[in-house]
Chains A and B, each alone.
Chain A
Amino acid sequence: MISRILRAGILPDDSMSDTDAQALFKRRRNMVVILLAILLVIVAGAITTPSFLTVENLLIVIRAASITGILALGMSYITISGNLFALSGEELAILSACIFAFLMRAEYGLFTSLVATLLFAAACGAIQGGIISYGADPIITTLAFGGLFRGIASLVTNNKNILLGTTAAEWLGTARPLGIPTQSWAFIFLTAFAWFVLQKTRFGRQLLLTGANREAARATGLRVGQASLVALILFAVCCGLAGIFAAAQFGLAVANLFTGLNIDVVAAVLVGGISLRGGQGSPIQAALGAIFIALLQNFMLLHSFTTGERMLVVGCLVALATLGFHMLQRRRA
């Protein structure tokens, strides 16, 4: 029988051919580019602004990078699964922040509030993921839900600040165990987690293969719908976490807690060099992309760029990264 064939055979060695070395170089190249870009901003910041390379400022940057980064990590699951982007991240983070603030004020305690908020976010992700895995367009679906989430946040808060009312959450938002902000610990942990999921788990492999070729994944019997669904849930949990951290940090939640976060996250994934076609790239690239965006934002703040100017720069960056991506694709084709 066929099992006989499977039992025979030899084990592969790990040597590589020239084309593989080239492919590896290409994969690494994206990583090198983003690292160089980060270095460039740091050098430029250090030269032009004395306050840029201070411990205090760098901690601010790291904290900001962590919020963007946590969302970008969540987004990387979606992009890698071949679903491009979810445009409801900012809004879900805001809604989660508001819910967390309400729960804290109602004195449910830090742990209960945290878990309940994350469960709520996961449910929001599951609804979106369910619709997308049914075949709906990811961009339009999440855009619609983004509007929905922002609307609910605005309604339930009546557009007023919701103070957390207790100091229990203050630790979560401002503590620095071993000198590193809690947000950044979460960021580091989630990066490692995402890397592990994609490299080492069956689910991660199905996600990668679904992103690489959805038709082939279906024909091979993989759970194509599940990949999209779980990617959205993971993303939503990341959004919930980002909202909780922000609420805890500021001691309040409000319906306009974040502005322009969606485009920052998209920019992070794009400049991190994750392929928009799906099936390729690593969450580490998204994490580095987020660090770059946070550094750039901070650099512009220190140079007193207005909000409009900063949005302009990030918008241009996204447009250029997209253009660059498609030019590379075309040259390869």
Chain B
Amino acid sequence: MPGDSSILRMRGIVKRYGAVTALQGVDFTLERGEVMALIGENGAGKSTLVKILAGLERPDAGTIEIDGRRVRLRTPNQSLHAGVAYVTQELSIISALSVAENICLGGHTSPIWTTAQLAARVKPYLSLVGLDDIDPAMPAGSLSVAQRQLVEIARLLSRNARILILDEPTAALSDAEIEKVMAVVRTLASEGRSIIYVTHRLGEVFEIAHRVTIFRNGVSFPPVDVERLDIDELIEHLLGRRLDQMFPERGISIGEPVLALEDVMASGLSEPVSLQLRAGEILGLAGQLGSGANAVVRAVAGVPPRERGSILLRGKSLDPRDMREAIRMGIAYCSDDRKRDGIFGVRKLIENLSAPAIGRITVGGLLSGRRERDLAGRLAEFFEIKVNRLGSQAGNLSGGNQQKVALGKWLGIEPSILLVEEPTRGVDVGARAEIYRHLRTLANEGLAILFASSDNQEVLGLADTVATFFRGRLVRVAPAADITPEALLRDVTHPESAESEALT
């Protein structure tokens, strides 16, 4: 029976994306005036759940009750109407408008207003989020990221939001700014509003949340009172999945260094990074969103080019002007957004696979159908893509097959270095294991692989050497065999405690 204080009850929520089940019958409750943290690894289902609540995704099964009444949250507007507000990482603040205009945006204001009227209107909401000192008439573009976040919250409060979803609100903030956001969250909760706080940072859970719901593999566990939990327990809850079969045997033959980063600074890093990659080695960069792990991979690919420091490819400075030149130097780069720049969705699989090596299938400016089928067939076979699908549109394939295409096409250029961000994002478990196996085979053939991942298990299972990142700095580099899952999780979420432990 719903308790008096339950504002939200979700029962049996199921969400499938094609063959992948993101949520397999999740139950979730939220009390009035509480801060509920949602934690879980990437792909565990927490963001799918909040998207359903925000009206951005439709569940395939399950019921949602707010204040004991069943509601349909089919569109963001319906959700907002029901009192649910979603603050995303990509803020929807419009820089050219004033703070007051941003807050009133989309609300029911009269068609004609004066600056003074608007300012008076938004003052109470601004003070709710601790921005009393801000002039409502100033352009929102001149605010800091944290202030924008607070303005966004104020906007949602002005629409009478009673359930606030904050999706990694502190990912891009400095420590002082985090304090400010935290204080606002506490005030809002004490006023009786309920907050769902999605985070990767375990420290924040203890700092702000009353209870925590842990997600793992599309299943949620009953909420736990934070007071009755310590960080080791939390880590144990978070891991738990055993996938010994998932990862292949480690490398056998690590060779000469091929790539060296010396004091490299790039956007997304707060401290210079030095790293080394050897032939046949898989180097995994572990870190959460904004940790700098991806920034290192991008700096090597040159998108965008590094700001300082040197990157040496077999002793020679590596400064490709564009991807064409990088590819000529034997560097393959697979970004974390395959829809954006990894695959040609409307073109055939065979054309996707042959694209980087288009020179190899061309004779005198004309495409050789035989060479193309030959090349694509071999790549497909190696990556276990069914060859009779070569004529299919790449966009019609499953996420796993698309990722195999996004990775596999690079073999055509016979790279010496493969750079990968999030090698298995949005990939089902079966295809994951296959991808890990293929990457290992390639490393055994002498390919040097550098990958960044926010999936700790993936880093530990796949990499020979692990480098951990937290808020733009390299925490440590160590052989994967020497790092426990707990230590890795600390490094990427909470390195201060790990460092103090290392000192003792």
Query: Footprint of B on A, CB under 8 Å?
Result: 1-17, 19-20, 23, 200-203, 205-206, 208-209, 212-213, 215-223, 275, 277, 279-280
Find the A residue at minimum CB distance from B389.
A17
Please, which residues of chain A bring their CB within 8 A of the CB of B460? none
Query: Footprint of A on B, CB under 8 Å?
Result: 322-324, 326-328, 333, 335, 340-347, 350-351, 355-356, 358-359, 362, 365-367, 373-382, 387-393, 396, 409, 411-412, 414-415, 441-442, 445-447
Find the B residue at minimum CB distance from A215.
B341
Known A9-B377, A200-B367, A221-B327; judge A213-B396 contact (CB<8 A): no
Please, which residues of chain B bring their CB within 8 A of the CB of A222? 324, 355, 358
| Most interface-central of B356, B392, B393 (chain A CB within 10 A) | B393
Find the B residue at minimum CB distance from A278.
B346
Q: Are B365 and A219 in contact (CB under 8 A)?
A: no
| Pick from B326, B340, B387, B411: contact of A2, CB under 8 Å | B411
Known A5-B411, A202-B362; judge A215-B340 contact (CB<8 A): yes
Question: With contacts A8-B381, A213-B345, A275-B346 known, what are 11 further pairs, Cβ within 8 A?
Answer: A2-B446, A5-B378, A9-B381, A11-B377, A12-B388, A13-B388, A202-B359, A203-B365, A209-B347, A212-B344, A216-B355
Q: Are B414 and A2 in contact (CB under 8 A)?
A: yes
Q: Are A2 and B392 in contact (CB under 8 A)?
A: no
Please, which residues of chain A bring their CB within 8 A of the CB of B367? 200-202, 205
Find the B residue at minimum CB distance from A6.
B378
Please, which residues of chain A bring their CB within 8 A of the CB of B328? 221
Smallest CB-CB A-B distances: 3 pairs: A9-B378, A12-B387, A215-B341
Q: Are A13 and B396 in contact (CB under 8 A)?
A: no
A161 to B344, CA, bound (A): 50
Q: Are B381 and A10 in contact (CB under 8 A)?
A: yes
Q: Are A2 and B355 in contact (CB under 8 A)?
A: no
Rounded to whole Å, the gap between the CB of B434 and the closest CB of chain A is 15
Q: Are A6 and B333 in contact (CB under 8 A)?
A: no
Q: Are B333 and A219 in contact (CB under 8 A)?
A: yes
What are 9 pairs between A and B in contact, CB < 8 Å? Answer: A5-B445, A9-B378, A17-B388, A19-B396, A212-B347, A213-B344, A215-B340, A216-B340, A279-B344
Please, which residues of chain B bring their CB within 8 A of the CB of A209? 344, 347, 351, 355
A325 to B405, CA, bound (A): 29
Rounded to whole Å, the gap between the CB of A5 and the closest CB of chain B is 5
A215 to B406, CA, bound (A): 13
A17 to B401, CA, bound (A): 15
Q: Are A14 and B414 in contact (CB under 8 A)?
A: no
Q: Are B375 and A16 in contact (CB under 8 A)?
A: no
A259 to B1, CA, bound (A): 74
Find the A residue at minimum CB distance from B344.
A212
Rounded to whole Å, the gap between the CB of B294 and the closest CB of chain A is 15
Rounded to whole Å, the gap between the CB of B393 and the closest CB of chain A is 5
| Pick from A4, A6, A203, A205: contact of B375, CB under 8 Å | A6
A71 to B362, CA, bound (A): 29
A1 to B373, CA, bound (A): 21
Known A13-B387, A202-B358, A280-B346; judge A6-B414 contact (CB<8 A): yes
A20 to B386, CA, bound (A): 13
Known A16-B388, A202-B362; judge A216-B341 contact (CB<8 A): yes
Q: Are B387 and A1 in contact (CB under 8 A)?
A: no
Q: Are A201 and B366 in contact (CB under 8 A)?
A: yes
Q: Are B347 and A12 in contact (CB under 8 A)?
A: no
Please, which residues of chain B bring their CB within 8 A of the CB of A208? 347, 351
Q: Are B392 and A17 in contact (CB under 8 A)?
A: yes
Find the A residue at minimum CB distance from B438.
A5
Q: Are A2 and B347 in contact (CB under 8 A)?
A: no
A17 to B393, CA, bound (A): 11
Q: Are A10 and B377 in contact (CB under 8 A)?
A: yes
| Pick from A1, A9, A213, A221: contact of B445, CB under 8 Å | A1
Please, which residues of chain A bring their CB within 8 A of the CB of B414? 1-3, 6
| Pick from B335, B346, B387: contact of A219, CB under 8 Å | B335
Please, which residues of chain B bring their CB within 8 A of the CB of A202? 358-359, 362, 365-367
Known A202-B362, A205-B351, A219-B333; judge A12-B390 contact (CB<8 A): yes
Please, which residues of chain A bring their CB within 8 A of the CB of B373? 11-12
Known A20-B392, A201-B366, A220-B356; judge A9-B382 contact (CB<8 A): yes
Q: Are B376 and A12 in contact (CB under 8 A)?
A: yes
